[in-house]
């Protein structure tokens, strides 16, 4: 992502926070240490990079934005600026060697100019001893230093660290912000409508684009629902051939079940009015569902909504979906 795109996305995802930071910088009231908290995908990294650019940009615009064109902004966006130290967990946690490196950098003055910025993602994965080791540097910065700690779970951060930082809670993205964020990472408008019902994290959603997983999942679920509505015998075999290969890990399996539930919700909603187009197969569902009563379709939705509970009871994904399909077709056939 280039600097101008990063700036645009930061403003699109968290406009109120950006406005607050603009005001704080302009009035010289910016804290020297921040704790950005909230589930990932709410723009924490984008806002951290934006703030680093704003502090170092050579040509700040009239409305207080970094220009995204100068060498400072461009190097920050490409993670190549010597005075913007970015640290992220190595695997599942921030390691001791990484903390030592960070502590060493805290003692050094800026290579260029006066400003130095530290951005520590996954700060809640540091051990207590590691976090304690950073306290004195957070309390007594050397020169113009700004530290930004990013954590999903505030409760995992030492209270002493929390008390010495300005905590910034990142709110969930609004519908329009989430839609534009999803389209920015590669979803089309129709796909984004479906994604917004499945997660509020654009980062999590971006992982679904790898190897066209999301497109395959949407098509597989759409075809399965179509076959189920038609009481087609092939619905049962679709589970093993189409869905199981896409459910390689528990998180993906849960997303597939959530997709199924959303499909049946859309079928019900189509009876009372227009619904956004979320599934490529959805155009036929309204017609195919007319043969059933609303009560029957509600009963099917209840069956589908119960599927995640089966997974939690250690029933495997294939058995869970096959049972869900069979029970749904029995209900549609008036046999239960």
138 token code pair? 């957070």
The answer to whether 260 and 221 are in contact (CB under 8 A) is: yes
CA nearest neighbour of 318 among 221, 223, 214, 241: 241
d(CA 8, CA 51): 13
Which CB contacts under 8 angstroms, 24+ apart, belong to 239-243?
Answer: 239/318, 239/321, 239/322, 239/325, 240/318, 240/322, 243/317, 243/318, 243/321
- Give pLDDT, residue 336: 56
Tokens (6 digits) for 169:
């809670």
pLDDT for residue 168 = 96
| DSSP line for 162-222 | HHTSEEEEPPPPPHHHHHHHHHHHT--HHHHHHHHHH-S-HHHHHHTTGGGHHHHHHHHHH
Q: pLDDT per position in the chain (336 positions), as tens?
A: 789 989 988 998 899 999 999 999 999 999 999 999 998 888 999 999 999 999 999 999 999 999 999 999 999 999 999 999 999 988 888 888 888 888 888 888 889 888 999 999 999 988 777 788 788 778 877 778 999 999 998 988 988 889 999 999 999 888 888 888 888 889 999 999 999 999 988 888 989 999 999 999 999 999 999 999 999 989 989 999 999 999 988 999 999 999 999 999 999 988 877 778 899 888 889 888 989 999 999 999 999 999 999 888 878 999 999 999 999 999 998 865
Q: Report in angstroms the alpha-carbon separations of 233 from 18, 238, 282.
A: 54, 9, 20
By C-alpha distance, which of 91, 156, 77 is closest to 119? Answer: 77
Q: Where are the beta strands (DSSP E) in the chain?
A: 33-37, 84-87, 115-120, 144-151, 166-169
């Amino acid at each position: 992502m280039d600097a101008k795109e990063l700036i645009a996305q930061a403003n699109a995802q968290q406009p109120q926070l950006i406005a607050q930071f603009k005001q704080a910088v302009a009035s010289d009231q910016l804290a020297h240490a921040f704790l950005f908290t909230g589930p990932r995908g709410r723009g924490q990294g984008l806002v951290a990079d934006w703030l680093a650019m704003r502090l170092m940009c050579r040509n700040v615009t009239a409305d207080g934005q970094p220009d995204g064109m100068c060498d400072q902004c461009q190097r920050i966006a490409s993670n190549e600026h010597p005075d913007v130290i970015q640290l992220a967990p190595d695997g599942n946690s921030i390691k001791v060697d990484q903390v030592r490196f960070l502590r060493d950098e805290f003692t050094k003055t800026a290579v260029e100019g006066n400003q130095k910025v530290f951005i520590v993602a996954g700060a809640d994965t540091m051990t207590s001893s590691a976090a304690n080791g950073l306290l004195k540097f957070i309390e007594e910065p050397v020169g113009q230093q700004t530290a930004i700690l990013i954590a999903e779970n505030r409760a995992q951060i030492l209270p002493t660290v929390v008390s010495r930082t300005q905590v910034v809670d990142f709110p969930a993205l609004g519908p329009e912000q989430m839609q534009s964020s999803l389209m920015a990472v590669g979803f089309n408008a129709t796909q984004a409508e479906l994604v917004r019902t499945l997660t509020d994290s654009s980062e999590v959603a971006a992982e679904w684009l790898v190897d066209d997983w999301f497109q395959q999942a949407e098509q597989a679920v759409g075809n399965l629902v179509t076959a189920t509505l038609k009481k087609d015998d092939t619905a049962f075999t679709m589970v093993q051939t189409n869905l199981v290969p896409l459910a390689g890990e528990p998180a993906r399996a849960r997303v597939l079940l959530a997709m199924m539930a959303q499909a049946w919700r859309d079928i019900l909603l189509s009876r009372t009015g227009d619904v956004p187009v979320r599934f490529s197969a959805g155009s036929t569902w309204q017609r195919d569902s007319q043969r059933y009563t609303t009560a029957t379709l509600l009963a099917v939705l209840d069956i589908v909504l119960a599927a995640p509970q089966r997974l939690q009871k250690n029933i495997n994904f294939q058995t869970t979906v096959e049972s869900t399909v069979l029970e749904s077709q029995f209900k549609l056939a008036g046999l239960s």
